[in-house]
Amino acid sequence: MAKRIDVKDVNIYYGKFRAVDDVTLHVPPKQVTAFIGPSGCGKSTMLRTLNRMHEVVPGARVEGQVLLDGENIYASSVDPVQVRRTVGMVFQSPNPFPTMSIRDNVVAGLKLAGTRNKKQLDEIAEQALRGANLWNEVKDRLSKPGGGLSGGQQQRLCIARAIAVQPDVLLMDEPCSALDPISTLAIEDLISELKKDYTIVIVTHNMQQAARVSDETGFFNVPGVGEPGRLVEFNDTEKIFSNPDEQATEDYISGRFG
Amino acid sequence: MTTDTLQSAERASPFQHLSGVRKAKNYLASVLVTCSFLIALIPLGWLLVTVVTKGYRALVSERWFTHSLSGVMPEQFAGGIYHALYGSIAQGVMCAIIAIPLGVFTGIYLAEYGRGWLARSVTFMVDILSGVPSIVAALFIFALWISVFGFPKSAFAVSLALVLLMLPIVIRSTEEMLRLVPDQLREASYALGVPQWKTIVKVVLPTAYSGMVTGMMLAMARVLGETAPVLVLVGYSRSINYNVFDGNMASLPLTIMNELLNPEPAGVARMWGAALTLILLVMIFNLMAAVLSRFSAVKSS
Ligand SMILES: Nc1ncnc2c1ncn2[C@@H]1O[C@H](COP(=O)(O)OP(=O)(O)OP(=O)(O)O)[C@@H](O)[C@H]1O
Ligand SMILES: [Mg+2]
């Protein structure tokens, strides 16, 4: 069941350093929302506040509200573990568990949550691996370690792992930065497929990718070193890429940046 | 003209010319490294050869591993080390049973939870503890366990002193091994909605397992050879005593100390035999560490 996300007046800090300044945006359900912007502008930071992963960093904190279908995930009564079960995440660099086989990596979320039924887990593993377009490559070595895959395969393994727990929202931080063009296209197809059921937020440095897969796009920018990143523009992807409201967005997209 | 210069530049390719100076430096460095290695090896090899040649006679004697020295005359070539072997293992195991869980949990606290003044003071204490000489640890336990609480001298008192020596090593190695586990793995686990304690148990500890086992076994090897605690906290006995809470009990270091005072050839043989047995015991623990880390859950391709 896909959910909508409303970010209201959010400031994000690492200790005293304010990394993201006063962001308000609305991520619609069953759509793909892309965050673009130069390196260091706070895209990853913004993304990680959407499932309370930000606070895992020592000293990191968030001000403001993030509403998941109207419920503030930063309310004091909310359990961050439950939030992360609902809002899954794929990281910038692949991070399979080195102690687990390929199959166990995929079903790690379910197994650690207590699912024991082997047959059910096998089915879910296959489904998730097919979903991540990895099944054919690994079906004969499911019991081999996940660390023995290539970088791109590892990333798809991580995507499989994230969708195996069937979250409502899927956050992806540059999921294709380690992938070849064919796997990238496969992931993009996968994203379009997943969007039927999930709300997806993706960070990407690849303009074409943002244009291809996303429905909404947010452009972040950082005015200078040591200053917080800001959301410059949030709009329909089509509008952002054809006729953005802000000059800065147009400069960035057309490569006249810096 | 231009092509000529280019070609001659090509012929003097920078890749084909190895300068004499660099060759010499390289040679010098490898000679230095090899020599240091050999020099470091000499005392080690010497020690082993001495202990083995002087100790193997006692070791291969018939009753060495099965009998105690009860009723054996100082000049008699007879008896065995069983009582001391039992004592060393009992003291070591009791120490491990207390120190390993305590140390592992403290290490987990420092690496995974510890922040602020509490963690800093624990680290500080661990630093101090790891600098405490074994004789001081032994005296402390004597003052506390025997003088204040009034318990008798016993193998258990020795184990308590050994705990003080083993604890900082276990804490340190656990903490360091856990810190080597990349944060990305923890984050990957959190992102799947796994709580922190389960992440530690199912993801972090299995990844760090093999290094932790090695650390523990080395700590074990270290305390098995400690002599000060057994000298201070328990009396020597030439016969078997299974009661760890009361009575004299031998251990390998204590037997060595005792036979050192025995000028008879039989005593000398037993002393070296006990020394060799101690080395073998430590080696067995190291081998166990190697075997246990083989079962490490980290799967390399
Ligand atoms: N763990 C951290 N501690 C302190 N500051 C951090 C930390 N992580 C990121 N920052 C800072 O926060 C700002 C935003 O970083 P962030 O990683 O969100 O950028 P990004 O937009 O994802 O960049 P990239 O495109 O390179 O991934 C940067 O100035 C960065 O230096
Ligand atoms: Mg980033």
| Nearest CB partner across the interface for A51, out of B191, B202, B301 | B191
Contacts 24+ apart (CB under 8 A), B102-105: B102/B163, B102/B167, B102/B170, B103/B166, B103/B167, B103/B168, B103/B169, B103/B170, B103/B171, B103/B174, B103/B216, B104/B170, B104/B174, B104/B212
CATH of B82-295, one of 3.40.50.620, 3.40.50.300, 1.10.20.10, 1.10.3720.10: 1.10.3720.10
Contact across the interface for B194 and A113, Cβ inside 8 Å = yes
From residue B88, alpha-carbon distances to A190, A233, B137, B206, B245 in Å are 63, 72, 18, 30, 14
Q: Is the predicted pLDDT of residue B111 greater than 90, yes or no?
A: yes
For chain A, domains (ranges, CATH) are 5-253 (3.40.50.300)
What 3-state DSSP class applies to B17? coil
Q: Identify the pLDDT of residue B116.
A: 85
Nearest chain B residue to A172 by CA: give it.
Answer: B191
Match 């590892």 to its residue by tokens.
Answer: A154
Lowest-confidence region among A76-85, A219-228, B15-24 = B15-24
Give the pLDDT score at A11: 95
User: For residues B241 and B247, is the Cβ–Cβ distance under 8 A?
Assistant: yes
Query: Tokens 């090593």 — which residue?
Result: B169
pLDDT at residue B1, rounded to an integer: 45
Set of chain B residues whose Cβ sits within 8 Å of the Cβ of A82: 193
Enter the tokens of residue B56.
Answer: 């193997």
- Asked if A154 and A123 touch (Cβ cutoff 8 Å), the reply is no
Question: CA B281: distance to chain centroid?
Answer: 11
* B299–A144 C-beta distance less than 8 A: yes
Pocket test for ligand 1, best of A43, A61, A91, A257 (most atoms within 8 A of CB): A43
Domain boundaries, chain B: 15-59, 82-295
Q: For B242-254, how does the pLDDT look when each residue is reduced to its tens digit (9 = 90+)?
A: 999 999 999 999 9
The gap between the terminal CA atoms of chain A, to the nearest Å, is 41
Ligand minimally distant from the alpha carbon of residue A228: 1
Give the residue among B77, B105, B258 at the shortest CA–CA distance from B170.
Answer: B105
Q: Are B69 and B252 in contact (CB under 8 A)?
A: no
Res. B301 pLDDT band, cuts 50 70 90: very low
Distance, in angstroms, between A142 CA and closest chain B CA? 13
* A204 CA from centroid of ligand 2 (Å): 9
* Pocket-forming residues, ligand 1, beta carbon under 6 Å: A 14, 17, 19, 37, 39-45, 57, 229
Distance of CA B13 to CAs A100, B17, B18, B25, Å?
Answer: 50, 7, 11, 22
- List, for residues A36-59, the tens digit of each pLDDT value: 999 999 999 999 999 999 999 989
For residue A161, list chain B residues with Cβ-Cβ distance below 8 A.
188, 192
**Cβ–Cβ below 8 Å for B297 and A99:** yes
Task: Convert the pLDDT of each residue in A161-208 to its tens digit.
Answer: 999 998 999 999 998 887 788 878 888 888 888 888 889 999 999 898
Q: Which residues of B19-35 are buried (b: 16+ CB within 10 A; e: fewer)?
A: eeeeeeeeeeeeeeeee
pTM of this structure: 0.85
CB contact under 8 A, A99 and B300: no
